[in-house]
Amino acid sequence: MDYLLDTNHCVYLMNASSRPLNRQKPEEIKVYNRIGSVITSANFYLCTIVLGELYYGANNSDQVTNNLNRIAALKTRFTTLDVDEELFKFYGQFRAGLPKGLNVENFDLTIACIAMYNNLVLLSNDHVFNYLIPDLKVENWTV
């Protein structure tokens, strides 16, 4: 399986949190599954929307330079998927098909569309994905 990292899982990685992985330096990032085994056979991706959320968080923090360096280290470990016109065509069609009145943040919906468009499992601790977007494959490795 291939995975798209949502912002919260990226933060766990950058913080070397025990959720979802063991403590490690950002330049030595390894991804662990929920039972503690290192994942080596899967591909992990970032997307530019998640990077935007990470940069926002870094620039709002008390340790801007340190957090920007951690984002830079994270970016070296994973391929970044960009948003292009084809993705936005998919997004527009998908969003138009959602039930009226359904309120999903645009960035969350874009991240979900990136995962679906690229046939990726979204790694996220954001529960909005579980009940608002039924076509999306989501796993939460923080539980």
- The rounded distance, in Å, linking the Cα atoms of 87 and 76 is 24
Cis preceding linkage at 26, omega within 30 = no
Tell me the CATH number at 44. Answer: 3.40.50.1010
Structural domain count of the chain: 1
Q: Side-chain half-sphere of 90: how many Cα atoms within 13 Å?
A: 16
Residue 91 tokens read as: 């997004």
- Domain span at residue 67? 2-139
- The rounded distance, in Å, linking the Cα atoms of 98 and 84 is 21
Strand partners, 139: 123
Considering all CA atoms of the chain, what is the largest pairwise distance in Å, rounded to the nearest integer?
45
Tell me the pLDDT of the chain (143 aa) as tens digits: 889 999 999 998 887 654 444 333 444 445 555 445 555 546 889 999 999 999 999 999 999 999 998 899 888 888 999 999 999 999 999 999 888 877 778 899 999 999 999 999 999 998 888 766 777 899 887 76
pLDDT at 76: 86
